[in-house]
Amino acid sequence: MVTLTAHGLEQLNSMVSTNNRLMDPKNGYLDRSIFSDSDLYQQELEQVFGRCWLFIGHESQVAKPNDFVANYMGEDPILLTRDSKGKLHSFLNMCRHRGNRICRADAGNAPSFMCTYHGWTFATDGKLVGVPGYKEAYFEELDRSQWGLVEAAQISSYKGLVFATWDKQAPSLEDYLGDAAWYLDLVVDRREGGTELLDGVHKWVLAANWKFGADNFGGDDYHFPITHGSVLQVNPNVRFGRINADSNRVTVNSGNGHNILGRYIGNQPANQFFSAYANMAQYYQSTLPETEQRLGAIRARQGNLGIATIFPNFTWHIGPMVRIWQPRGAAKMEVWSYCIVDKKTPEDVRDSMRRNLIRSFGPGGATEHDDMNNWIQCTSTSLSSIERKTPMVITMGLGHETRSELIPGVISANVSETNQRAFYSRWLEMMNAPSWDQITVAPKTK
């Protein structure tokens, strides 16, 4: 059994110690306080969001020099910029003078950001390039080179997806992703020319801990026929039993806390999400030979059932969507959801993809609504005094994991909780390890 120990967790544990305060994700037990405790949440911001690679945008959002787009790394507002020379940066959206926001826009193109308080001005490469009263008030004694924007320690792209980390000790993005990249290619490398995001992003807030979203989209096929029963009832094309067991589908823990739900062996690119949009299904079918040529048959033919979470809070879904589970307090999150398409996708198919996404996974989407309701309730039972002392159980399929030469990672039935155990084990590892030296980085095998 592993208990919440290091770095203040010890103290927290002793403050509220009971026999039920277990934290044993490897064997399938979770302490509910990880979804509600504000001290743990503060530590999570430091040790998880302060050290992991976080998705901050797509290169298509900052295609031209001096483009910028606002995002967050954990709860810290950042600006993803492309400087005048074409280099990407992630900066805190914070003036170095008295801490005002330097940019109030969500996105745009500008050679510099002028703070609205006293007028300090920063270029898109972060340099402080303008200080009102530099001669008269500062007597030219301010060393402007010391007061540029605060920049993330590392920034890197994976086939158009931009990630950044505050920790200079973090492994390279490629090592961090490990075998998850093999699966991620199904989203970002299906066709020559890569991908782009459609304009706009859905953002909404819900009273649920961010981990519920990350865990669910990291491979929870168990919930589908129950949670989404009403959606299934009105869709004549879909038939599910009460247990959604499907020998063609698997969950995969690809290492480093990253989790995938996908098709293992199969030959049916269209699925229920496309049933209302024949041109989407037709698009996937017609581009399958190209994808197969790029990625091979196994990946091409499992691809469009892919749902996954890259630890900690980046998710993709066949929708086709990428999203961020933004933490907003122990019992609150903000979802940011984007429609991602191959650059070569025809206009009419883009439109269907956008509609399909909104219909199922927009803030008022049929399946999204079902999910949110459950996560809100699970968070609520982690807040009240007696309920929160009761551990949560994720033991399904324990000991029934396998491996295959065909696909990388630890494989389990599509209805299992192997991925949840892997997700929360990684979370605990990050929460307990003082530095990246003591955090496992699984080697890439494919």
Q: Provide the β-strand partners of residue 438.
A: none
Six-digit token pair at 133?
A: 């009263």
Among residues 35 and 120, whose Cβ is nearest to ligand FES? 120
Among residues 118 and 359, whose Cβ is nearest to ligand FES? 118
Question: 218, 315 in Cβ contact below 8 A?
Answer: yes
CB of 132 to ligand FES, least distance (A): 8
Which candidate, 16, 78, 29, places its Cα nearest to that of 50? Answer: 78
Among residues 103 and 392, whose Cβ is nearest to ligand FES? 103
CB of 102 to ligand FES, least distance (A): 7
Task: Name 225's Cβ contacts closer than 8 Å, sequence gap at least 6.
Answer: 232, 240, 241, 242, 243, 244
Among residues 59 and 371, whose Cβ is nearest to Fe ion? 371
Among residues 143 and 347, whose Cβ is nearest to ligand FES? 143
| Residue sitting closest to Fe ion (CB) | 371
Stretch that binds Fe ion, among 9-17, 248-256, 320-328, 370-378 (CB under 5 A): 370-378
CB of 114 to ligand FES, least distance (A): 8
Told to check if 381 binds ligand FES by CB under 6 A, we report no
Told to check if 98 binds ligand FES by CB under 6 A, we report yes
CB of 382 to ligand FES, least distance (A): 38
Among residues 103 and 155, whose Cβ is nearest to ligand FES? 103
**CA distance linking residue 113 with residue 101, whole number of Å:** 10
CB of 99 to ligand FES, least distance (A): 6
Determine how β-strand 29-30 pairs with β-strand 76-82.
Answer: unpaired
**CA distance linking residue 306 with residue 403, whole number of Å:** 18
Among residues 113 and 158, whose Cβ is nearest to ligand FES? 113
Task: Name 375's Cβ contacts closer than 8 Å, sequence gap at least 6.
Answer: 206, 208, 209, 212, 213, 216
**CA distance linking residue 260 with residue 254, whole number of Å:** 7
**CA distance linking residue 355 with residue 54, whole number of Å:** 27
For the chain, the maximum distance between any two Cα atoms, rounded to a whole number of angstroms, is: 76
Told to check if 97 binds ligand FES by CB under 6 A, we report yes
Told to check if 104 binds ligand FES by CB under 6 A, we report no
Q: Which does 371 bind (CB under 5 to 8 A by kind): ligand FES, Fe ion, none?
A: Fe ion
Among residues 37 and 371, whose Cβ is nearest to Fe ion? 371
**Binding track over 117-156 against ligand FES, x by CB under 6 A:** xxxx------------------------------------
**Binding track over 53-92 against ligand FES, x by CB under 6 A:** ----------------------------------------
CB of 113 to ligand FES, least distance (A): 10
Q: Provide the β-strand partners of residue 173.
A: none
Told to check if 368 binds Fe ion by CB under 5 A, we report no
Angle at 148 between CA 142 and CA 153, to 5 degrees: 140
Told to check if 95 binds ligand FES by CB under 6 A, we report yes
Q: Which does 118 bind (CB under 5 to 8 A by kind): ligand FES, Fe ion, none?
A: ligand FES
**CA distance linking residue 424 with residue 26, whole number of Å:** 8
Question: 323, 336 in Cβ contact below 8 A?
Answer: yes
Stretch that binds Fe ion, among 113-121, 278-286, 367-375, 433-441 (CB under 5 A): 367-375
Number of residues that bind ligand FES (CB under 6 A): 9
Among residues 93 and 313, whose Cβ is nearest to ligand FES? 93
Q: Which of 31, 37, 185, 371 binds Fe ion (CB under 5 A)?
A: 371
Which candidate, 255, 271, 259, 346, places its Cα nearest to that of 309? Answer: 259
Q: Which of 3, 13, 100, 271 binds ligand FES (CB under 6 A)?
A: 100
Told to check if 200 binds ligand FES by CB under 6 A, we report no
- List residues binding Fe ion (CB under 5 A): 371
- List residues binding ligand FES (CB under 6 A): 95, 97-98, 100, 115, 117-120
